[in-house]
Structure 1
Amino acid sequence: PSMVPANALAVTQNIVVVNTSAIGYGTTYPANLVTVPLVSNVNASGAGQVRAAMALTRLSPSGELAYYTSMGTDLVVDVTGYFVQPSS
Protein backbone atom coordinates (compact mmCIF):
# COMPACT_ATOMS: atom_id res chain seq x y z
CA PRO A 1 0.00 0.00 0.00
CA SER A 2 1.22 3.47 -0.80
CA MET A 3 0.42 4.79 2.69
CA VAL A 4 3.04 2.49 4.24
CA PRO A 5 6.52 4.06 4.18
CA ALA A 6 9.50 2.15 2.80
CA ASN A 7 11.08 1.93 6.28
CA ALA A 8 8.04 0.18 7.84
CA LEU A 9 8.76 -3.06 9.69
CA ALA A 10 5.19 -4.30 10.20
CA VAL A 11 1.57 -3.37 9.56
CA THR A 12 -1.72 -3.68 11.38
CA GLN A 13 -4.55 -4.75 9.14
CA ASN A 14 -8.18 -5.78 9.20
CA ILE A 15 -8.61 -9.02 7.23
CA VAL A 16 -12.11 -10.08 6.15
CA VAL A 17 -13.08 -13.35 4.47
CA VAL A 18 -16.35 -12.94 2.56
CA ASN A 19 -18.56 -15.64 1.00
CA THR A 20 -16.47 -18.55 2.26
CA SER A 21 -16.85 -21.86 0.41
CA ALA A 22 -16.25 -24.16 3.41
CA ILE A 23 -14.71 -24.37 6.86
CA GLY A 24 -11.18 -22.95 6.78
CA TYR A 25 -8.78 -20.22 7.72
CA GLY A 26 -6.76 -17.34 6.35
CA THR A 27 -3.33 -16.09 7.29
CA THR A 28 -0.99 -13.27 6.36
CA TYR A 29 2.80 -13.39 6.61
CA PRO A 30 6.02 -11.82 5.28
CA ALA A 31 6.25 -12.57 1.55
CA ASN A 32 9.82 -13.84 1.81
CA LEU A 33 8.86 -16.94 3.85
CA VAL A 34 9.24 -20.20 1.94
CA THR A 35 6.32 -21.98 3.64
CA VAL A 36 2.91 -20.80 4.81
CA PRO A 37 2.85 -20.46 8.62
CA LEU A 38 0.80 -22.99 10.58
CA VAL A 39 -1.22 -20.27 12.31
CA SER A 40 -4.41 -18.49 11.35
CA ASN A 41 -5.41 -14.85 11.51
CA VAL A 42 -9.08 -15.36 10.61
CA ASN A 43 -11.29 -18.48 10.78
CA ALA A 44 -14.55 -19.56 9.14
CA SER A 45 -16.69 -22.40 10.47
CA GLY A 46 -18.60 -23.07 7.25
CA ALA A 47 -19.73 -21.90 3.83
CA GLY A 48 -21.27 -18.49 3.14
CA GLN A 49 -19.72 -16.71 6.09
CA VAL A 50 -18.24 -13.26 6.59
CA ARG A 51 -15.55 -13.12 9.27
CA ALA A 52 -13.14 -10.32 10.20
CA ALA A 53 -10.01 -10.19 12.33
CA MET A 54 -7.20 -7.78 13.12
CA ALA A 55 -3.67 -8.93 12.33
CA LEU A 56 -0.24 -7.53 13.16
CA THR A 57 2.16 -8.76 10.48
CA ARG A 58 5.89 -8.29 9.98
CA LEU A 59 6.84 -7.17 6.46
CA SER A 60 9.42 -8.93 4.30
CA PRO A 61 12.77 -7.11 3.80
CA SER A 62 11.33 -5.71 0.54
CA GLY A 63 8.18 -4.52 2.35
CA GLU A 64 5.79 -7.16 1.01
CA LEU A 65 3.09 -9.38 2.52
CA ALA A 66 1.56 -12.65 1.36
CA TYR A 67 -1.91 -14.04 2.03
CA TYR A 68 -3.15 -17.63 2.12
CA THR A 69 -6.63 -19.07 2.58
CA SER A 70 -7.42 -22.76 2.98
CA MET A 71 -10.89 -22.33 1.47
CA GLY A 72 -12.37 -20.46 -1.45
CA THR A 73 -13.27 -16.91 -0.40
CA ASP A 74 -13.19 -13.26 -1.33
CA LEU A 75 -10.53 -11.47 0.72
CA VAL A 76 -10.79 -7.85 1.86
CA VAL A 77 -7.78 -6.22 3.52
CA ASP A 78 -7.59 -2.75 5.09
CA VAL A 79 -4.18 -1.60 6.33
CA THR A 80 -4.88 0.38 9.49
CA GLY A 81 -1.37 1.30 10.65
CA TYR A 82 2.33 0.53 10.54
CA PHE A 83 5.43 0.33 12.71
CA VAL A 84 8.84 1.81 11.89
CA GLN A 85 12.25 1.50 13.55
CA PRO A 86 12.73 4.28 16.12
CA SER A 87 15.13 6.94 14.94
CA SER A 88 18.38 7.23 16.86
Structure 2
Amino acid sequence: MEKMQIENDVYIDEILKNWKGIIMLYRQFEEKNPVLLLDIQEQKVYAYPYNEFKSALNEISQESLKTQYEEAIANDNFVIFVQDNEKKEFRSYTFTKE
Protein backbone atom coordinates (compact mmCIF):
# COMPACT_ATOMS: atom_id res chain seq x y z
CA MET A 1 0.00 0.00 0.00
CA GLU A 2 2.76 2.47 0.88
CA LYS A 3 4.48 1.77 -2.44
CA MET A 4 1.25 2.57 -4.27
CA GLN A 5 0.97 5.89 -2.41
CA ILE A 6 4.51 6.79 -3.42
CA GLU A 7 3.85 5.83 -7.04
CA ASN A 8 0.75 8.06 -7.06
CA ASP A 9 2.50 10.99 -5.38
CA VAL A 10 2.61 13.84 -7.90
CA TYR A 11 5.34 15.55 -5.88
CA ILE A 12 7.70 12.62 -6.34
CA ASP A 13 7.25 13.17 -10.07
CA GLU A 14 8.08 16.87 -9.61
CA ILE A 15 11.21 16.00 -7.64
CA LEU A 16 12.33 13.53 -10.28
CA LYS A 17 11.61 16.04 -13.04
CA ASN A 18 13.89 18.54 -11.26
CA TRP A 19 16.43 15.96 -10.04
CA LYS A 20 19.45 17.28 -11.95
CA GLY A 21 19.02 20.78 -10.53
CA ILE A 22 18.28 19.42 -7.05
CA ILE A 23 21.47 17.37 -6.95
CA MET A 24 23.57 20.19 -8.43
CA LEU A 25 22.33 22.61 -5.75
CA TYR A 26 22.76 20.07 -2.97
CA ARG A 27 26.35 19.38 -4.02
CA GLN A 28 27.18 23.12 -3.90
CA PHE A 29 26.34 23.17 -0.18
CA GLU A 30 26.85 19.50 0.69
CA GLU A 31 29.37 20.15 3.46
CA LYS A 32 26.68 22.16 5.29
CA ASN A 33 24.01 19.44 4.94
CA PRO A 34 21.30 21.85 3.77
CA VAL A 35 17.56 21.33 3.74
CA LEU A 36 16.22 21.79 0.22
CA LEU A 37 12.92 23.31 -0.83
CA LEU A 38 11.27 22.78 -4.23
CA ASP A 39 8.71 25.49 -4.94
CA ILE A 40 6.18 24.07 -7.39
CA GLN A 41 4.82 27.38 -8.69
CA GLU A 42 8.26 28.94 -9.18
CA GLN A 43 9.81 25.67 -10.38
CA LYS A 44 12.90 26.59 -8.35
CA VAL A 45 14.95 24.75 -5.78
CA TYR A 46 16.38 26.50 -2.73
CA ALA A 47 18.97 25.37 -0.19
CA TYR A 48 18.70 26.47 3.45
CA PRO A 49 20.84 25.93 6.51
CA TYR A 50 19.09 23.40 8.74
CA ASN A 51 18.68 25.70 11.76
CA GLU A 52 17.34 28.58 9.68
CA PHE A 53 14.80 26.35 7.94
CA LYS A 54 13.78 24.64 11.19
CA SER A 55 13.22 27.95 12.99
CA ALA A 56 10.63 28.97 10.37
CA LEU A 57 8.45 25.93 11.21
CA ASN A 58 5.92 25.47 13.99
CA GLU A 59 6.91 23.40 17.03
CA ILE A 60 5.39 20.11 15.83
CA SER A 61 6.99 20.46 12.40
CA GLN A 62 10.32 21.33 14.03
CA GLU A 63 10.31 18.06 15.96
CA SER A 64 9.32 16.12 12.86
CA LEU A 65 12.09 17.75 10.82
CA LYS A 66 14.64 17.14 13.58
CA THR A 67 13.92 13.41 13.55
CA GLN A 68 13.83 13.16 9.75
CA TYR A 69 16.96 15.30 9.28
CA GLU A 70 19.05 13.44 11.86
CA GLU A 71 18.08 10.09 10.33
CA ALA A 72 18.80 11.37 6.81
CA ILE A 73 22.26 12.67 7.74
CA ALA A 74 23.10 9.46 9.61
CA ASN A 75 22.27 7.48 6.46
CA ASP A 76 24.04 9.84 4.03
CA ASN A 77 20.73 11.15 2.66
CA PHE A 78 19.14 14.59 2.49
CA VAL A 79 15.75 16.16 3.20
CA ILE A 80 13.77 18.06 0.60
CA PHE A 81 10.48 19.86 1.11
CA VAL A 82 7.96 20.49 -1.63
CA GLN A 83 5.84 23.61 -1.38
CA ASP A 84 2.70 23.90 -3.49
CA ASN A 85 0.93 27.14 -2.63
CA GLU A 86 -1.97 26.53 -5.02
CA LYS A 87 -2.89 23.23 -3.34
CA LYS A 88 -1.70 24.39 0.09
CA GLU A 89 0.66 21.41 0.37
CA PHE A 90 3.96 21.34 2.23
CA ARG A 91 5.58 17.89 2.31
CA SER A 92 8.98 16.54 3.18
CA TYR A 93 10.89 13.67 1.63
CA THR A 94 14.21 11.96 2.25
CA PHE A 95 16.39 11.03 -0.71
CA THR A 96 19.77 9.48 -1.24
CA LYS A 97 22.49 11.74 -2.60
CA GLU A 98 23.23 9.35 -5.47
TM-score past 0.5 threshold: no
Could you say which structure has the higher helix fraction?
2
TM-score scaled by length of structure 1: 0.27
TM-score scaled by length of structure 2: 0.25
